[in-house]
Structure 1
Amino acid sequence: MGSLLIGSSSLFAQKKPVDHTVYDAWKSISSAKIAPSGNYIYYTVIPQEGDATIFLQEQAATAKGRKAKKTSAATPQNILEIPRGTNPFLTNDEQNFVSLIKAPFAAVRQAKIKKKKPEEMPKDSLAVYNILAQKLTKFGQIKSVKTSDKNANYFAFISTETPKVIAAADSTAKAAKKAKEINTLSIYNFQTGDTTNIAGVEDFYFSKTGNELIYVRKAVEKDTVAAYAGVYIYQLAEQQKKQISKGKGVYKNFTFDETSSQLAFLADKSPEKSLSKDFKLYYYTPGQDSASVLADRTSQGLPTNWEVSQYMEPIFSKNGDKLFLGLAPIPKLRDTTLVDFEHAKVDIWSWNEDYLYTQQIANKKRFESENFLAVMFPKQGNRITPLLTPEINQARLSETADEPYFLASSDHGRRISYQWDTDGTRDYYLVNSSTGEKKSILKDFSGNATLSLDGSYVLYFNKENNSWNTYHIATDIHTNLTDGIPVSFSDETHDSPSKAESYGFAGWSADSKGVYINDRYDIWYFDLAGKDKYISTNGAGRLNSTVFRYINIATESVPRAAVKIDPKSSYFVSSFNEVTKANGIYEVENRKNKNPKALLEGNYAYKQFSVNKDQSQAIYTKENYQESPNLYVSKNFKSEVALSDINPQQALYNWGTAELVKWTTPAGYDGEGILYKPEDFDPTKKYPIIAYFYEVLSDGLYNYQAPAPTPSRLNISYFVSNGYLVFAPDIRYKEGQPGKDAEEYINSGMQYLAKNSWVDASKMAVQGQSWGGYQVAHLITRTNMYAAAWSGAPVVNMTSAYGGIRWQSGMSRQFQYEKTQSRLGKTLWEDRERYIANSPLFFLDKVETPVVIMANDNDGAVPWYQGIEMFTGLRRLQKPAWLLNYNGDEHNLMLRQNRKDIQIRQQQFFDHFLKGKPAAKWIKSGVPYKEKGIDWGFDID
């Protein structure tokens, strides 16, 4: 036994630290799904950089029609691996598996190096696997793939290679053979394995029933434009096509009604170089020879100088009677006869415009595409009825759009105030979806509202009194659902001067009679009429400080406002214990006085949860700091089988542990944070420690931290593996003192840890990005306890930043300081001293801590000149400081090469100041402009 223990210790000691070369190969799991039958599971394993792999696994020998491998029923087996696979799907009958195959990463890289043209770049391909026949078929040069939700017999794709076989009925076959490259639509029949190819196709769409396919075709030859360009409808079973619209043009926004008996689309057939685009609404039914124009600029009911908007996809009501479309004013055209150098180029800002000029620029596409809802009754004629206006401009149709009313809202006349108050107020209206008649139901309302599934109620949360309410359309009655309930339905931990948000709602009762609403911990059921209510989770959440949240297991993606919960069936919820930070999955019986039942629970984070149709099997990923996220399957939640092992290499490296730390701050508040230690932690040694923070992080105690080049956050697993302690303290705030609050929690937490003999109190550092970067800047003006600091994208001067612009959105920054994250609560003119007290710039003379500042010139959130103000101030005061500007990159680094670069610099910086290692060239003397791109300054003498 003694020799075995010595050997084990020796192996443990040989584990190596993570280095910067390991990032690319570290993998993650995505797109994990289980088939409705439970027989098949598939998922994608993705390296940080390189080629992904798709795995298709069989649960048991249950696939009919083929001889299955002899396997343990408890252990799923791989039946297919697709290197470079992406966007996989299993057909509804579970007989065929389809996946795109990305071009090899190395080949794409080489093509970029050689500066290949787009048409010369390596192309994707396609894999089709017949599970019963165990046959794999591949297609090359793929541009796009689509399938029908309703018809499992077919799928279709567009490829760019010249096909070897063109349908005999296609009279352009000769031209296709001559072409070097042409877009070809291929319609694949899963039952027969046959492929029908059609040349010159730009785009295609399946109908709602899946029996038809619409495609848009360009002519293959110039002299065939008139004859072949246009829109075609293809009957899949009959293999028959019909041209329903002729002519060269732009065709888009195809939509079918529920029965696929009506089709609407938009088309502009004006000359290609025409500055004026004239989109018309076309309409087609099977009885017509071709699609006819249903709406254009001359249509009855259309406002003067308005047109059909190209930016809204038409919507049929479920019963097919109504067709909703978008209208917009005809845009003004630029006078192309004007000579540029003879006319001024000037921006004119006006104080009374609805939106700041910078917002107009940042949101140019949104403003250009703005359109206003209208309705037509295609079976009754072509008259247009406008429903919305530039004043009342936002709408939410019901799920079916059959109901006589929909919900609309307006912030007209109050848009300027969003500059400083993003809470704002809106007016809400009911709009008659046939006539456009409007009825005001909420005036100057602060909150949010939505229409119930059947359109009979409006559900709304009132921020003024933190209540959930309904408005019954038929009776004109408002009902306060949460009145008298002794718990809050708005954020109990809200700590900024803005109005608290609600915890949201889980979904609607599928019978349209009720709604499921969240409080801090539990899920409540409310009858929409206010006659009945109960805690669906039976109060177990609040009793145990556990947050329960509904998990939507529906295979189709639906917005929260359309989620349906069966009141007669159980449902699944995630759980998170605020005290222990443990996570889990529970089943809620959805009955009064029944506690949720724990299915999975532990010191892990459970993600990507999905179940099969009868809910007898579930898949999920499971992770914590020590265990990489892998995929598991559980049968009836009585057993658990691992399906993957994606990062076995982790066992070769000195990893780490994560533990919850609690302390009392100087003001008597409860402090909480995560302490990360190296796997080979030795309490007889002293370790340098880095604090990394951003508001509240302790909820992520059981999250895995892959070694990865980050956007500028601290690479926790790297530093822990390399002999550092990392501390992530939570920060709680009071109005008007964000800097002081950072001191209260961060400094006291670090001082608490420094009492341990294994913490080197002389080698402590702080690192933060964005809001964390601001707090780093503040801390080093108030204490010299830190040996080094790293401040990413900081604000250091709240007086100048207050009047600045968030360039990505074009918004003024005033709202942030008065109402949201900065939490100052007053205007600059109301409390100038508050702004100064929380601005590190005014106290830079107190700084003794060496600091690196990252401020990028394309930062769309924090003006990069804030970093310049900090750097030039420290430089003037001759304090050790460095500024990194990653040219053209954003607030958080987006380019991977920049992320890799900053990891090396952070390591070299902290190694020098916390471990006493020699300084790299960029730290000692910088990198002069003339050496930029030649010498990166990483060398160490």
Structure 2
Amino acid sequence: MKRYVCLILLFLLGAEGVFSQKRPMKLDDCKLWRSVDQIQLSENGKWVVYNYRALYRQDLDTTYIYNVQTGETICKAGLSNFSFMANGKLLKYEKKEEGDDSGRPSVYTLNLLTQQEKQWAKNIFLVPIKGTDMAYYVQYKPTGKADFTFVNLLTGEEQCIEDINTFGQVEAGRLLYSVADSLKSTLYLWEKGRKTQVGEVPGYIASIANPDAKGCGTLSCASTYDTRFDVTSIYTYDLNKCICSKLLSYQDITGLPEGTKVSSMSRLINSKTQLLIDLEPLAYPQVERETDQVNLELWIWDENISPRRSFKRSGFDASKYDKYVYDIATGECFTLPTKGLSSLAFPQGEDVKGCIAFDATPWYKESDWTMSPNDDVYYIGMNGEKKKLASHGKYGLSWSPDGTKVLLYDPALKAWRLIDMATGSDRDLTTGKLPYPVYEEEHDYSFDAAPYGVAHWNPDNHTVVIYDRYDLWSLDVKGEKAPVCLTQGKGRKELITFRKAEHPVSSRDKLYLEGFDEKSKTKGLYLLAGKNLRDMAVDSQSNLVVKANTDNGKVVLWTKEDYGERDFWVSDLTLRNPKRVTDSNPQVKDINWGTTRLYTWTNLEGKKNEGILFLPENYREGQSYPVIVLFYEKMSQELNSYRLPEYSSATIDIPWFVSNGYIIFCPDISYRIGAPYESCYNAVISGVEQLVKDGIADKERIGINGHSWGGSQTAWLVTRTNIFKCASPCSAVTDQVADYLMLRGTGQPNMYFEEDAQGRLGKTLWEDRELYLENSPVMHADKIHTPLLIFHGEKDTSVRIYQGMALYFAMRRLGRPAWLLNYRDVGHQMGGDAECRDFMQRLIGFFDYYLKDAPMPEWMKGDNNK
């Protein structure tokens, strides 16, 4: 009897352990997961509003209104297009009424303090006036006129201005608008309920520019309302003197090319003394296709642009003309020598001393085999001076706030050059002055490395702040002082990449930085105040990123993210004592989820290699697991990135496979030009072998999966090793020779991909045929003894379906197990939910069969086995 009691007790204890375990994900659990779709913090920091979106269902019918002070959440159903108004006192949204078949939702505002809801007329669109309790709406009439209404959102008081034609930017209780009749337009100022006539102009005022600090601005005018998009003159107005004066008339501008006119996009520059002219045609020609015309596309061997390239110009081509500037005082129109230059870069402000011009024309032809067209760069001064600054490269620009200077990144020098726009003089600001490169140090492509970039210009224009790999450097524009490392070398010393944070917004004396720690792979918030750099919020296990904040910085909305979650929190700027706002996926508490681990080993080149291990939540040290290798260039920086479970669109879904007992291994790959696949072998195979040595991977249960570039390498790896029990190359290039000569959907030949981009071969097919053959999996298919599940979409315009078929037919001819999933209506990766779900089911069946000894799925057996 005691024996039975003991057995019963053991059973109950065991049952308790079983029932307390979290369950693995099921296929359709993907439908349960959701992410925050829209989220906003009110200006006063008292409220947060958000909703969720799920991948496979509409989940936007509930809006959540979170009270920052109390932590309570109000739920509202059926809302859309929400936003805060009245400095955060109101929430505006749209809601469709029951029984209303008009299709147009009603507009509501909710007083967040009293919870009183107000319905507005359907035909109005409320526009908030920042920093006030006011908004406005405009009701347009068939006559071309409109009624403009100011409204106090809290009291409901309205002030209406009827029958206006044009209005400018709205400020608190202040509006500039015009009223037109058949002969003239009258400009009015409406301020605090009082109307003042500013002046009259002939014709129709098409647009009203904001007044400057002195109350002066400009009016763009057309002849009539019907021609309002064809500006013919510019007038000025003075709010203090209440006068409008003619500045210039486009008809007085002579010397323009035949068949062109001044475009409405032209703008005043240099204290409104000159007009920088954009040209447009007097009339666009009507092209009529001949009914008996042969549908022929002529390709000529030495034409500058190959026929299918998408960047061919169509319509009016301004690059065929010089740039024109009209001097208002003298009435003269002078030219800038820009004819033939493919693009022009002028500063955005009023102060224009010249432009930087780019010309890709000499290099268009080679863009068939380079990643993107190279440029020649020119300085063009307002005096007509034209000087070539650099040739045949990919350049970066950063303008000073006043437009008088510009930084040009020169890839040939690997340096930032300072161009004085008044004189055209330039000076190297970084070569020999900084101890570290200003370009991407780990760049492993054939084309030139890009710069790390410019953080900002200081408002005084005396200094500009640039990045190296880790730190921020202040450069003296005058060249009188040595560069200063603002972050005091902490970034390089501690392997933290500092970059200017989008939020909170930095000020003159406070620079907020986002720091990415290469050791922990996490993002945190830092503050640089004067010479003091300190941690504001850093977590070695999670990414902490500020998404919004109040102007005074007292309330901050931010995300905490790791593999397990990504939700929003509120706190002060220290991010301490936070309150959780969202709980996107509470169901994860009942599911065996997983963890991530940074895995480090020595690769076959004797170098340190990193990667991510995705481990089941119930992972036990010392126990070997089935492993799927999944990779794409470098992924370790995503160690703490949240991953939403979803049906497979290109590769296996990591969360699902981890939840179901697999370990996923994502190794980083550093490439050598001319040996991309060997580089992959060195990293991936060494990592897999180390996993086996460490007892993590069961050497008899290792699979591999990759998509696109990762798929190509997957297909190649199995020609070199039998370490994998099975492999699934997806949308993969398998024949480098054929791919090199194929045309992409963009019209660009794939030559660029193999020579200059991810292919990284660095040579033409005819310079090294063996290189292309050696890196073509189909040429070595006889060495493949690994069963393959090949996925391809027949409408793939990046990697043509032939590539997947070629590998399949090679395996078929050799009598080796291979399955091809050719989705007829799919492109480079899956689109529709049905296809994604089907693909995921087949991936699960394939890997479970080879790595978990599950029964072979019926679809793998074929007709001969049914």
TM-score bin (small chain): 0.7 to 0.9
The count of corresponding residues between Structure 1 and Structure 2 is: 838
Does structure 1 residue 662 correspond to structure 2 residue 614?
Answer: no
CA distance in 2 between counterparts of 1:775 and 1:544 reads: 34
Structure 1: which 5+ runs fail to align? 61-70, 108-118, 158-165, 177-182, 218-225, 272-276, 556-564, 928-939
2:53 is equivalent to residue 59 of structure 1:
no
CA distance in structure 1 between the partners assigned to 2:733 and 2:97 by the alignment: 42
Aligned equivalent of 2:399: 451
Percent identity over paired residues: 25
Return the alpha-carbon distance in structure 2 between the equivalents of residues 171 and 869 of structure 1: 63
- SS, match of residue 358 in structure 1: coil
2:256 to 280, 296, 302: 302
The aligned residue for residue 7 of structure 2 is none
The yes-or-no answer on 1:93 pairing with 2:82 is: no
Q: Match of 1:439, as an amino acid? A: K
Q: Which digits, 9 at most, give the CA deviation of each residue in 1:374-398, with x for residues without a partner?
A: 6676977998766574522423332
Match of 1:851 in 2: 788
Residue 579 of structure 1: which of 505, 509, 519 is its match?
519
Q: Shift of residue 352 of structure 1?
A: 3.7
Residue of structure 2 aligned with 1:256, choices 195, 209, 223: 209
Q: Is the 8 A contact 1:258 1:320 kept in 2?
A: no
1:207 maps to amino acid:
Q
Q: Which of 300, 308, 326 pairs up with 2:278?
A: 326
1:819 maps to which residue?
756
* Aligned CA distance change for structure 1 residues 911 and 233 (closer, same or farther; 3 Å): farther
Among 722, 729, 753, the residue aligned to 1:791: 729
Give distance in 1, aligned partners of 2:572 and 2:504: 18
Could you tell me which of 3, 26, 31 is aligned with 1:24? 31
Change in Cα spacing, 1:369 to 1:121, as seen in structure 2 (3 Å) is: farther
Distance between the aligned counterparts of 1:189 and 1:377, measured in 2? Answer: 45
Amino acid at match of 1:575: G
Alignment CA distance shift 1:473-1:19 (3 Å): same
Letter of the structure 1 residue corresponding to residue 529 of structure 2: E
Contact 2:168/2:177 (CA < 8 Å) preserved in 1?
Answer: yes
Counterpart residue type for residue 542 of structure 1: R
Q: CA deviation at 1:772?
A: 0.5
Residues 756, 404 of structure 1: alpha-carbon distance in 2 compared, 3 angstrom cutoff: closer
CA distance in 1, matches of 2:407, 2:523: 31
Aligned to 2:627: 689
Tell me: CA distance 1:239–1:843, structure 2 relative to 1, closer, same or farther (3 Å). Answer: farther
Distance verdict in 2 for CA 1:171–1:452, change over 3 Å: closer
- SS for the counterpart of 1:427 is strand
CA contact (8 A) 1:795 1:866 kept: yes
CA distance in 1, matches of 2:713, 2:202: 62
Letter in structure 2 aligned against 1:193:
G
What does residue 549 of structure 1 align with?
499
Residue 300 (structure 2) aligns with: 350
Distance 1:479 1:333, change over 3 A: closer
2:376 alignment partner in structure 1: 427
Distance 1:870 1:188, change over 3 A: farther
Q: 1:519 aligns with which of 462, 468, 487?
A: 468
TM-score, with normalisation over the residues of structure 2? Answer: 0.84
Show CA shifts across 1:114-151 (max 9, x none). xxxxx999545544233455433345868977555587
Q: What amino acid sits opposite 1:515 in the alignment?
A: V
Tell me the secondary structure at the aligned position of residue 502 of structure 2.
coil
1:537 has 2:487 as partner: yes
Q: Highest Rg: 1 or 2?
A: 2
Q: 1:739, CA displacement in angstroms?
A: 1.3
Name the structure 1 match of 2:386.
Answer: 439
The equivalent of 2:451 in structure 1 is 502
Distance 2:528 2:719 in 1: 51
Q: Secondary structure at the match of 2:519?
A: coil
Contact 1:633 1:643 in 2 (8 A): no
Say if 2:853 is the partner of 1:912: no
**1:648-703 superposed Cα distances (whole Å, 9 cap, x missing partner):** 11111111111111111233122211111111224576532111100000111111
Does residue 1:12 correspond to 2:6, yes or no? no
In structure 2, give the amino acid aligned to 1:403.
V
Shift, 1:528, TM fit: 1.4
Tell me the equivalent position of 1:190: 153
SS of the aligned residue for 2:556 comes to strand
| In 2, Cα distance between equivalents of 1:895 and 1:323 | 52
- Cα offsets for 1:400-428 (capped at 9, x unmatched): 23333333322232222222234765333
Determine the structure 2 residue equivalent to 1:129. Answer: 110
Match of 2:690 in 1: 752
**Structure 1 residue 777: Cα displacement:** 1.1
Counterpart of 1:513, as a letter, is H
In structure 2, the CA distance between the partners of 1:632 and 1:691, relative to structure 1 (3 Å rule), is farther
Q: Which amino acid aligns with 1:843?
A: H
Checking the alignment, whether the CA contact within 8 Å between 1:208 and 1:258 is kept in structure 2 is no
429, 438, 444: which one pairs with 1:481? 429
1:743 pairs with one of 654, 657, 681 = 681
Q: Show the counterpart of 2:414.
A: 466
C-alpha contact (below 8 Å) 1:96/1:130 kept by paired residues: yes
- Distance, in Å, in 2 between the alignment partners of 1:609 and 1:810 is 39
Q: Check whether the contact 1:295–1:382 (CA below 8 A) recurs between aligned residues.
A: no
From the superposition, tell whether residues 889 and 724 of structure 1 become closer, same or farther in structure 2 (CA, over 3 Å). Answer: same
| Structure 2: runs of 5+ lacking an equivalent | 1-9
**Structure 1 equivalent of residue 591 of structure 2:** 653
Give the deviation of 1:831 after TM superposition.
Answer: 1.0
Contact 1:185 1:197 in 2 (8 A): yes
1:935 is matched with which residue?
none
Q: Secondary structure at the match of 2:361?
A: coil
- Comparing 758-767 and 418-427, the one that deviates more: 418-427
Deviation at 1:865, TM superposition (A): 2.8
Q: Distance in 1 between matches of 2:63 and 2:189?
A: 32
- 1:257/1:320 contact within 8 Å kept: no
Secondary structure of 1:45's counterpart equals: strand
1:161 equivalent in structure 2: none
Aligned equivalent of 1:626? 564
Alignment correspondent of 1:559: none
The answer to whether the 8 A contact 1:479-1:529 is kept is: no
Kept in 2, the 8 Å contact 1:407–1:451? The answer is no
CA contact (8 A) 1:233 1:244 kept: no
Structure 1, residues 743-784: CA drift from partner, whole Å, max 9, x if none? Answer: 111122122212344533222111111111111111122222
Distance 2:66 2:812 in 1: 60
Residue 400 of structure 1 pairs with residue 349 of structure 2: yes
Give the corresponding residue for 1:391: 340
The one-letter amino acid paired with 1:707 is P
Q: How does 1:825-864 map to 2 (within 5 A)?
A: 825-864=762-801
Query: Within 5 A, what are the aligned runs for 1:602-621?
Result: 602-621=540-559
Contact 1:151 1:209 in 2 (8 A): no
Distance 1:879 1:513 in 2: 68
Distance change in 2, residues 1:895/1:143 (3 Å): farther
User: What is the CA–CA distance in structure 1 between the aligned matches of 2:255 and 2:797, rounded to whole Å?
Assistant: 43
